[in-house]
Chain A
C-alpha cells in the first residue's frame, strides 16, 4: 500500500477523530481532577456500572440463544426472524426508551438496562450467528457421530461464546456511554443520573470543559477496560474455525424443542420490536383518544410537513458521513489488516473516537472547530458531517480491516507481480473484493449517523436534525406528531437494509 496514501488517510482520521480527544484531555486542569475523585463520582460510577452490566447481561441472555436459533437451526422463517431481530439495534435508543417505558411501566434504574439491553441484544445475536456459521460442517458431523446433538452443542458453545462475549462487551460500552436514554428515563420518573448526564450537565451549566472531561475520565477508563478484551477476543476468534475447504454446516433439527424455541424468539421480538413499533403506531393513530386510520394518515402528513427539513438535513448529513468514511476505511482498514505486530495498538487508537462518551467527543470537536478560522465550517451543516465521520469512522475502518484480513494475499501479490501500483491494486483488486464490506460499512455508518444524538447535540447543526427535533418534542409533550416522527425516523434508519434486501445480491459484511 502506498505510504503517502495511508499517511494522508491517517492524518484525516487523526484530525476528525483523535485531535478532539487530545484537545479535551489537554483542557483538564489540576483543580478539575478533584471532580474525578469526588464522592458523587463514586455514586455515578456505581450507577453507570449497573446500567452497563445490566444491559450487557440482558443482551447476552437474549442474544446468545437468539443468534443460535436463527442461524443454525431449522426454526421456521429463521431468515426473516433473523432480519427482524436486528431492528432494535437500528432504532434510535431514544425511540425505544419512549415506547418501552410507557408500555412496560419500567422506570429509573430498572428501565435503563431494560431499554439498552433490548436495544443491544441483536449485537450479541449477530456475533453469535456469525461465529456459529463459521464452524465447519465436518466438525459438527464428527461431534454428532461421537455423541449426538448434545455433543454438537458442546462443540458449538465454546466456539460461539468468545464472539458472544465480545458483543456483550460492545453492548456494555454502548450502554455506559449512552446519554439520551438515562436522560429521558430521568425526565419521566425517578431520577437516575449516570456519567453521560453529568458530563452534559457540567458542560451545559458552566461550559466548563475541564470539569466535564475530568468527570468523565472514569467512564473513559471503563470503556477502554471493556474494549481491550473485546478487541482481543474479536481478533483471536475471528477465523478460529475456518479451514481452507470450508463446508457449510447443515441446520440442526430442533425436534420437540421447536415450539419452545419459537416461543422464545416470538417473546423477544414482541418485547423488542412489536411493542415499541406497535405503541408508536397506536399513538400516531390517536392513542388514548381512539385509534383511527384517518388519524394515522393525518399524523404522518403533519410529521412530514413539520419535520421534512429536519429529515432532509439528517439524511444529508448521514449520507455525507457514510460516503466520506468509505475511502478512509478502505485505505486504513486495508493498512490495518496488513500491519504486523503493532496491529493491536493501532486498533485501540482507531477505536478511541468511539470509546470516549459521545457527549465528550462532541465537546472535543467544539473545542477544535469553534474558532475564528473555522467559524464558517462550525456554523454550517458540514460540522455535523465532520463530527459524524470522526465518531463513526472507527466502525468502518475496523469492519474493513476485518474483511481485508480475510482476503487471499495472493490476489494482491499477483496484481503486484503484474505491475499494478498501490493505487491500482486498491481500486481494481482490493476495493472490488471488499465491496460487500464497503457497502456494509457504509450502511452501518449511515444508520449510526442518522440515529445519533449524543455527539451532535451541542453543535449548531443539531438544531436542523431530526433526532434533536424528536428529543425536544418528547421532552415538551407527547402527541401523535412525536409518534409519527419517530416512526419516520425508524423507517429511514431501516431503508438501506430494506433496499438491500429487495435489490441487493451480495451478502453484506457489517461486523468489525
Chain B
C-alpha cells in the first residue's frame, strides 16, 4: 500500500523553482532516508508533503486521498495526520508549555477527552524517556531532551507519516545513537511511515530500507 505519492510535484518560492519536478512513492510502514547538500530541497520536500508550503504543479496523495493538486490545497495540514520534527535547536517547541502540557495540547487538538489526556501524555513521555521531566519547559531541557520532546509531540498526532528534518543534527554522537535506537523501537511498535532527512546517513544506518539522494531540488538517485 502506498502511504505517500508525489506526481510531477514542483515548488516555486519567490519565482524560483526550489523543488521538482519530482515523482516519488513511499510504501506504508517504510523508512526512507533523504540525503543531499544544503539547499538541495530536502526540507522543502518535507514541508510540501506536510502542506506547510504550497506546491506549484503536480499532485500529492496521502494514502488514497489527494492532498494537493497544483496550487490547490485539498487537505489542510491539520487533517493530514502527519507528525513533523523540525530542524534545528528548539525544534519549534512551545516555550510557555511544559513537556506534559505540550502533549496534552496536541491531544486536545486531536479531540482526546480531558480525562484521557494526562495518561496518554505520560505514556508518550515514557516512550521517549522523559517521564521524569514532564513538568519542564523546553528552555529547561537539554538539546537531546528537547529533541525527544519534539518527537513525542509528533507522535501524539498518531501519525500515519512521520517527517523528520535532521532530528539528530543538534546532538552529540552518543545521544544520536540513543535517539536513533529509540526511533527504531517506536517505528517497530507503532509503524508509521518515516521520511528522515539527514546529512549523515550513518546515524540511522541499518534502520532505513531506502535512501534518496537529492540535488538542486530533484532526486538524483534512489538506493
A428: chain B residues within 8 A (beta carbon) = 105
Number of A residues whose C-beta is below 8 Å from B?
A: 21
CA A45 to CA B97, docked complex, whole Å? 54
Closest to B87 in A: A410
**A488 interface hit (Cβ, 8 Å):** no
Give the residues from 47 to 90 in chain B that come closer than 8 angstroms, CB to CB, to chain A: 50, 52, 76-80, 82-84, 86, 88-90
A419: chain B residues within 8 A (beta carbon) = 78-79, 106, 109-111, 157
**A413: contacting residue among B84, B97, B105, CB under 8 A:** B84
**A425-461 interface mask toward B, CB cutoff 8 Å, 1 = contact, 0 = none?**
0001100110100000000000000000000000000
**A408 interface hit (Cβ, 8 Å):** yes
CA A411 to CA B84, docked complex, whole Å? 11
A411 and B156: CB pair below 8 A? no
Binding site for B on A (CB under 8 A): 244-245, 408-411, 413-421, 424, 428-429, 432-433, 435
B77: chain A residues within 8 A (beta carbon) = 413, 416-417
Q: With a 10 A CB-CB cut-off, give which of A417, A424, A429, A435 has the most chain B CB atoms.
A: A417
CA A17 to CA B111, docked complex, whole Å? 40
**B19 interface hit (Cβ, 8 Å):** no
Closest to B47 in A: A413
CA A245 to CA B170, docked complex, whole Å? 12
CA A419 to CA B81, docked complex, whole Å? 8
A417 and B80: CB pair below 8 A? yes
**B109: contacting residue among A408, A418, A432, A435, CB under 8 A:** A418
**B139 interface hit (Cβ, 8 Å):** no
B91 and A410: CB pair below 8 A? yes
B110 and A411: CB pair below 8 A? no
Given A417-B77, A428-B105, decide whether A433 and B92 contact each other with a Cβ distance below 8 A: no
A415 and B84: CB pair below 8 A? no
B92 and A418: CB pair below 8 A? no
CA A232 to CA B89, docked complex, whole Å? 31
**A416: contacting residue among B78, B86, B94, B110, CB under 8 A:** B78
A408 and B90: CB pair below 8 A? yes
Closest to B76 in A: A416
**B93 interface hit (Cβ, 8 Å):** yes
Closest to B101 in A: A428
**A433: contacting residue among B89, B96, B153, B156, CB under 8 A:** B96
**B94: contacting residue among A244, A411, A421, CB under 8 A:** A411
A424 and B153: CB pair below 8 A? no
CA A300 to CA B95, docked complex, whole Å? 46
Could you write out 11 A-B pairs with CB less than 8 Å apart? A409-B92, A413-B50, A413-B84, A414-B92, A415-B94, A417-B82, A418-B105, A418-B153, A418-B157, A419-B110, A432-B97
B86 and A414: CB pair below 8 A? yes
CB distance from B159 to the nearest CB of A (A): 9
Given A419-B109, A419-B110, decide whether A411 and B157 contact each other with a Cβ distance below 8 A: no
A244: chain B residues within 8 A (beta carbon) = 88-89
B84: chain A residues within 8 A (beta carbon) = 413-414, 417
CA A416 to CA B153, docked complex, whole Å? 12
A424: chain B residues within 8 A (beta carbon) = 109
A420 and B96: CB pair below 8 A? no
**A417: contacting residue among B78, B95, B96, B97, CB under 8 A:** B78
CB distance from A124 to the nearest CB of B (A): 31
A416: chain B residues within 8 A (beta carbon) = 52, 76-78
Q: With a 10 A CB-CB cut-off, give which of B76, B78, B95, B110 has the most chain A CB atoms.
A: B78
A429: chain B residues within 8 A (beta carbon) = 94
CA A411 to CA B153, docked complex, whole Å? 12
CB distance from B170 to the nearest CB of A (A): 10
Q: Which 3 A-B pairs have the closest CB atoms?
A: A410-B92, A419-B109, A418-B106
A435: chain B residues within 8 A (beta carbon) = 96
Give the residues from 86 to 133 in chain B that come closer than 8 angstroms, CB to CB, to chain A: 86, 88-97, 105-106, 109-111
Closest to A411 in B: B92
Closest to A435 in B: B96
CA A418 to CA B105, docked complex, whole Å? 9
**A414: contacting residue among B88, B89, B153, CB under 8 A:** B153
A417 and B110: CB pair below 8 A? no
**B96: contacting residue among A245, A413, A414, A432, CB under 8 A:** A432
CA A235 to CA B110, docked complex, whole Å? 37
CA A409 to CA B77, docked complex, whole Å? 14
Given A414-B84, A417-B80, decide whether A408 and B153 contact each other with a Cβ distance below 8 A: no
Closest to A418 in B: B106
A408: chain B residues within 8 A (beta carbon) = 90, 92
**B157: contacting residue among A417, A432, A433, CB under 8 A:** A417
CB distance from B149 to the nearest CB of A (A): 11
CB distance from A242 to the nearest CB of B (A): 14
A417 and B105: CB pair below 8 A? no
CA A418 to CA B106, docked complex, whole Å? 5
**B83: contacting residue among A413, A417, A421, CB under 8 A:** A417
B79: chain A residues within 8 A (beta carbon) = 419
B93: chain A residues within 8 A (beta carbon) = 411, 414
**A245: contacting residue among B78, B83, B89, B109, CB under 8 A:** B89
B96 and A418: CB pair below 8 A? no
Q: With a 10 A CB-CB cut-off, give which of B83, B105, B109, B110 has the most chain A CB atoms.
A: B109
B52 and A413: CB pair below 8 A? yes
CB distance from A510 to the nearest CB of B (A): 20
Sample of 11 more A-B contacts, CB < 8 Å, known A417-B50, A418-B109: A408-B92, A409-B92, A413-B52, A414-B86, A414-B94, A416-B52, A418-B78, A418-B156, A420-B105, A420-B109, A435-B96
CA A285 to CA B79, docked complex, whole Å? 69
A245: chain B residues within 8 A (beta carbon) = 89
CA A272 to CA B52, docked complex, whole Å? 51
Closest to B83 in A: A417
A415: chain B residues within 8 A (beta carbon) = 94, 105, 109
Closest to B86 in A: A410
B78: chain A residues within 8 A (beta carbon) = 416-421
